[in-house]
Amino acid sequence: MKLPRIPLLTPLLLGLLFLITAGSTLVPPRLSRPEKDFEKFWQTYKDHYAFFALHHVDWEQTYATFRPTITARTTPAELQATLARMVEPLRDGHITIARGDKILYKGTSQRHSYKTDFREVQETYWQTAYQNLQAAGFEPVRGLGSQVGKFQVLYLSKSSGNVGYLRLSRCFAELSGVMGSTRQEQQDQQRLLGLFDAALRELSACRALIVDLRGNGGGHSGKEMASRLSVGRHLTHFTAERRPGGYEQFTPLAPYYLTPNPGLNYQQPVVLLTNDGTASSAEEFVLALYRQPHVTTIGDNTAGMLSDMYPAQLSGKVTFTLSHQRYYSPDSVLLEGRGVPVRLPVAYPRQALDQRHDPVLARALAVIR
């Protein structure tokens, strides 16, 4: 029996048949702009964020929860609100979402009592410190450098007993917004180091120095400024950087060493004042010095948010940052969320401020005496 002849399929028909039978699985659907932005945001965190385990966040579950809420009709404001809800449980002060210089979302680190207790009374907080200094025989405190917001970059004073006071309010000179370009960062670093060196030269003859880093939210150049106060080369910390390929995929630990600055170097006793408002590059300043034999740290541990900020961009000129590095002490203790420890812990309750008393500064003056 002859089989009936089956006509040959044309290439066009073959293509149509392929699309019907297999296209739904092999050709991905075209994503809208909100969906693309969501996917990029989530994937960037999956590949680079360093602390999911520390904060007990299941990032795969986060995707399953929020991805179905994003469609082609999602507005930019709705998308930004969703992204903020996704990362809020991470409690990370280096997480930001911004458009230009406008911050749309900024995370809050685990340790933030300074901001909670003293945010609304910043002027009173520092007026109290300066009044306590004058009562101890210091000259009126004067500022140095540009002013951003309420404060100048540096404040300094000297006592009749030849003790210097240097407050570093932040670790940048003029930058604004979340991050500057590489060129802007380099220029700002030069300006900041110039200001710091000028202040340190003015106080270089002092028999002891108080460096006040409380409330300093960071910036850059922490290690470079610390080199001006180092008495010898020593291991300061290790870092590891997150890599794609697994949530615990990191580069090998890289050691960092501090070497005394050859041009300007202060080697008399130094007291560092810190609290959980001392963050980022200001923590690097403390981390570089806290094991030096002539340095005493007083107050509260730093904030514990030391990683550099990894940047990425979405549509509509929206940028975001995240923490992609782990910092470890020389004895391999993870410092994220813990902070750089102080040698002499001193609490600063709000009641002390109400009484116009700065207990951390008082302890520093007692140690120097």
pLDDT for residue 101: 84
pLDDT for residue 183: 84
Encode pLDDT of 255-276 as tens digits: 999 999 999 999 999 999 999 9
Encode pLDDT of 33-69 as tens digits: 999 999 999 999 999 999 999 999 999 999 999 999 9
Overall pTM > 0.95: no
Alpha-carbon distance 212 to 165, whole Å? 8
Overall fold of domain 32-106? Transcription Regulator spoIIAA (3.30.750)
310: burial class by Cβ within 10 Å (0-12, 13-18, 19+)?
Answer: buried
CB neighbour burial string for 249-283, b if at least 16 within 10 angstroms, e if fewer: ebeeeeeeebebbeebebebbbbbbbbbbbbbbbb
Q: Where are the domains of the chain?
A: 32-106, 113-306+324-368
pLDDT for residue 180: 65
> Which residues of the chain fall short of a pLDDT of 70?
1-28, 176-180
The fourth-level CATH superfamily of domain 113-306+324-368 is 2-enoyl-CoA Hydratase; Chain A, domain 1 (3.90.226.10)
